[in-house]
Copies of this chain bind each other. A is one copy, B any other.
Amino acid sequence: MNTIPLWRRIVAEGIGTGLLVTVVIGSGIAASRLSPNDVGLQLLENAFATALGLAVLILMLGPVSGAHFNPVVSGVDWWLGRKTGNGLTSRELGAYVPAQVSGAVLGAVLANLMYGEAAVSWSTTERGAGHQWLGEVVATAGLIVLIFALASSGRAAMAPAAVGAYIGSAYWFTSSTSFANPAVTIGRAFSDTFAGIAPASLPGFVLAQVAGAAVGVALLAVLYPAAGQAADDVVKRATGVSK
C-alpha cells in the first residue's frame, strides 16, 4: 500500500503530465523553428528531447505517485489490480485521471507562453487517417506491455529509461508518432504547433489508445499471466528505486 497522501500523489500526476506535455510541445516548437527545412530532423530533435525528458520525469516523480502521467496506464493498473486486490482503487483512479488531463492542458499553456505564443491556440493539425489509428493501437499496446512486464518481473527500477526509450523509438516506428496517452493527446490540442492535434481528431486517437490498451492487456494475459499481482508494485511505485 502506498502511504503517501492522495493529494500529494495527485499533485505529482498533474505536474508530471503537465511537464511531459511541455517537453513534447516545447521541443516541437523549437525544432520546427530552428530546422525549418527538414521535417525528419524536426522529429528527431523532438524524439531526442522527449525520450530524455520523459525518463527524467518518471525518475523525478515515480516515488510520489508512480509516475503514470497517462489515463490508460492508470486504468489498466486499476483493471489488473481489481482481480488481485492490488493496483489503484476506483477512487484513486477517479482522482488520477482528472489531474492528468488538467495538468496536460496547463503544460500546453506553459509551453505556448515560454515560446511567446498565445496561451492557447487550437491545433489545426488533422491526424485522422485509419493507418494512424492503427499506429496508436500498436503504440499504446506496446507501452502497456512494457510497463507491466517490467513490474511483473521485478524490474520496475528500469521503467524510467525503458519508457523514455520506448516513446523515443515509437515516435519513429508508428505512423501516428506515438501519442499513446489520452491526457497528453488532449493537451496537445491546445497548441497550434508542431506537436499539435486538431480537436476533431481527438476522439479517434483516444479510442485507438483505449483499444491499444485492451490489446496490451490481452497480450499480458499470454506473456505475463501474473501481471495483476504486480499492479501495486508497478503502478504505485514504478519509481526507479531498486528493490
Which A residues fall within an 8 A CB radius of B? 8, 11-12, 15, 19, 22-23, 26-27, 30-31, 33-35, 37-53, 55-56, 59-61, 63-64, 110-111, 113-116, 129, 131, 134-135, 138, 142, 145-146, 149-150, 153-155, 158, 162, 164-166, 168-175, 219, 222-224, 239-241
Identity of the chain B residue whose Cβ is nearest the Cβ of A44 in the assembled complex: B45
Q: Are A49 and B172 in contact (CB under 8 A)?
A: yes
Check A40–B42 contact: CB distance below 8 A.
yes
Query: How far is B35's CA from A233's CA once the two chains are assembled, in angstroms?
Result: 42
CA distance A90 to B213 in the complex (A): 37
Instruction: Assess the B8–A223 pair: CB atoms within 8 A.
Output: yes
A169/B223 contact (C-beta < 8 A), A56-B162, A138-B114, A174-B114 known: no
Q: A35 with B30: in contact, given A45-B172, A241-B154 (CB under 8 Å)? A: no
Q: Is the CB of A51 within 8 A of B51?
A: no
